[in-house]
Structure 1
């Protein structure tokens, strides 16, 4: 009898592992989720999971690599834009408008498990360090600390909306609408 694993390609299995692991890490915490939990939720053996990811740490690294790639793409977009007074606003809105439920789950994961994940992935190449590249692309080299904070705040509206939405029935759309509204108010 064919298993669910038999019907998936390797890439599909890998993507499904990442999706399920992100959900479990977000719900239970990184330390509260085992590789057995992930394999059970997927209906695959632990050895099949280890074929795609040799460790729980490698799953998290892969999840964060995708977030860093999204940030790199935004930095490249910013660099192709002409300098203008509304560039911070346009870049922040582009970030918000491109948000997916997976990105929000990744943010929830980082909020809930930040210290553990920072220690685990202490390579100076974390998502927050990548985010600084966006700030660098949007402010002049001689920018004041207040100018840098302003740019961070324009982008952190999604994180603020996520935190504010805890223990509410706010949907993804509600969170993003609130973030968009806050960004527009900050950058007006």
Structure 2
């Protein structure tokens, strides 16, 4: 019995070590991607900064895209969970506001990754993660947009999410508390969705001009 327990402990330790190594590779790769761009970063440079051999790196990731896919899961996972949660809730304004709040937190939690994706849009768009992120954005927009919404209200809902994206990027170098900046961007996004929701509740009324 003791031998079995020791084997189990060894197996757990090895899994943890592999997990830690994968995380270190992803962290260092993201640093390099952010510093010099995805396309200009090589696996050799990632291995050198980690002070490991390329063979050791290949054990975990065969290509740069594999690393990026692993990184993107940190953003995709909360989005998938949010979309699933939204599907169980009534399509009320409170639900839509909560969707935006939760998405704002998810973006803040992976800010370095999202900044990289914003700065390397051309490269990311050509990779599988780009298409995957686009699909998730479409599904997420559907959670805050009414199916029969007027075109202006569809634009408002789409703009709400991209306001959160652009706000995180544009306000990066603006002085101020990061949390206050996040809340300001969130407030604008909520205002857009609130207007869209009001329009959906009163389809006979023309949208109000600002």
Please name the residue that 2:113 is paired with.
Answer: 106
Corresponding residue number in structure 2 for 1:3:
none
Q: TM-score by structure 2 length?
A: 0.74
Aligned partners of 1:166, 1:83: CA distance in 2, in Å?
A: 33
Q: Residue 47 of structure 1 aligns with which residue?
A: 55
Deviating more after overlay: 110-119 vs 37-46? 37-46
Question: What displacement does 1:17 show?
Answer: 1.2
Output the CA distance in 2 between the equivalents of 1:20 and 1:164.
24
Return the offset for 1:50.
Answer: 0.9
Residues 52-67 of structure 1 mapped to structure 2, 5 A cutoff: 52-67=60-75
**Which is higher, the Rg of structure 1 or of structure 2?**
2
1:13 is the counterpart of 2:26: no
Question: TM-score, normalized by length of structure 1?
Answer: 0.81
Structure 2 gaps of 5+ residues are 1-13, 195-210
Cα-Cα RMSD: 2.5
Give the stretch that moved more between structures: 156-165 or 75-84.
156-165
Cα deviations by residue, 1:121-178 (Å, 9 ceiling, x for unpaired): 28x8421221110112332332333222222222223322223224445564354233
Consecutive aligned runs of 4 or more in structure 1 exceeding 6 Å deviation? none
Distance 1:175 1:19 in 2: 25
Aligned ranges for residues 130-149 of structure 1 at < 5 Å? 130-149=136-155
Q: Report what 1:93 is aligned to.
A: 101
Q: 1:19 to 1:132 in 2, by over 3 A?
A: same
Give the conservation status (yes or no) of the 8 Å contact 1:71–1:130: yes
Counterparts of 2:193 and 2:67 in 1: how far apart (Å)?
A: 36
d(CA) in 1 for partners of 2:48 and 2:184? 36
Bigger drift between 177-186 and 56-65 goes to: 177-186
Tell me if structure 1 keeps the 8 A contact 2:125–2:131: no
Question: Which structure 1 residue ranges, 5 or more long, are not aligned?
Answer: 1-5
Q: Does 1:68 align with 2:76?
A: yes
- Partners of 1:40 and 1:174 lie apart in 2 by 38
Deviation at 1:60, TM superposition (A): 1.2
Which one has the bigger helix percentage? 2
- Tell me the matched-pair count: 180
